[in-house]
Amino acid sequence: MGEDFVTQVLYNGVMTTLMMSLPIIGVGLIVGFIISLFQAVTQIQEQTLTFVPKLIAVLLMIVVTAPWMFSILMSFTSSLWANIPAMAR
């Protein structure tokens, strides 16, 4: 097991993590921006106003993208399991 192989496994792990988290973080960012824009326009400066819509949007995004995230995670895990013999060398 060389440095290239370890680097490739780490790269794939980081990319898998980013691919799974970016849609959820992006939705949270967009909803937070919209709520902040609404607060700036209406001058309502309630701190708890941003929490509930972001929570609902993130939870809905997790529910919507769960099958896709599960398939990505399963393919990454199966590739790791398939490479166990190469890791043992």
Taking only the tens place, the pLDDT of each residue in 6-26 is 899 899 999 999 999 999 999
pLDDT tens sequence across 32-57: 999 989 988 988 887 778 889 999 99
In a domain, 89, yes or no: no
User: Which residues touch 45 (CB under 8 Å, ≥6 apart)?
Assistant: 39
Total domains in the chain come to 1
| Residue 88 included in any domain | no
pTM over 0.85: no
Give the structural domain span for 38: 3-83
Q: pLDDT tens-digit profile of 56-71?
A: 999 999 999 999 999 9
Among residues 15, 13, 20, the alpha carbon closest in space to that of 67 is found at 20
Q: Is residue 73 part of a domain?
A: yes
Residue 13 lies in a domain: yes
